[in-house]
Amino acid sequence: MNEHKEKILSVCNQICKDTLMETLDITYIDVGENFLLAKMPVTPKVHQPDGVLHGGASVALAESVGSAASYIFLDGQKFFVRGIEIAANHVRSIKEGFVYAKASMLHKGRTTQLWEIKITDEEGNLISNCKLTTIALPRK
């Protein structure tokens, strides 16, 4: 991994301290030209009562990765980035292991951005497909 990628991932992981991302053990693991990838362990703390990954934890993962990607690709020093809408389709359950969320940019507007976040298991099976709209507001 080159130095630039390592720096971006380091910043993403450092800003997770004392946040929901730290609570969920989300770790940013790869970044490319128009994507960001993170992983999250599937343990009882993110289960729903019947022992499978809670859809809300999947949505929190998706919004975390999509918002972090917006921050990276839109120059977070100049803009505040906020999620304004998220939709998720949960297509498969998982009880243990890791899930991976890859946020890919579908549209980069000056104010709003559209992200597709695919959440997969360790074998690449689709767990959830999410769509996130973010807004970039100038810092004053």
User: What's the domain count of the chain?
Assistant: 1
pLDDT given at position 1: 59
Mean pLDDT for 17-32 is 96
Please give the model's pTM, rounded to 2 decimal places: 0.93
Told to judge if 63 belongs to the known catalytic residues of this protein, a careful annotator would answer yes
**Beta strand ranges found along 58-125 (DSSP E):** 79-90, 97-108, 112-120
Active-site position among 63, 85, 96, 122: 63
Domain, as residue range, for 105? 3-138
Exposed/middle/buried for residue 70 (C-beta within 10 Å: 0-12, 13-18, 19+): buried
Per-residue pLDDT reduced to its tens digit, 55-93: 999 999 999 999 999 988 887 678 888 999 999 999 999
Of 55-64, 104-113, 115-124, the least confident:
104-113
Residue 79's CATH number: 3.10.129.10
The token pair at 22 is 């730290």
Single out the residue of 27, 25, 108 nearest to residue 70, CA to CA: 108
138 residue type, one letter: P
Distance between CA atoms of residues 47 and 53, nearest Å: 4
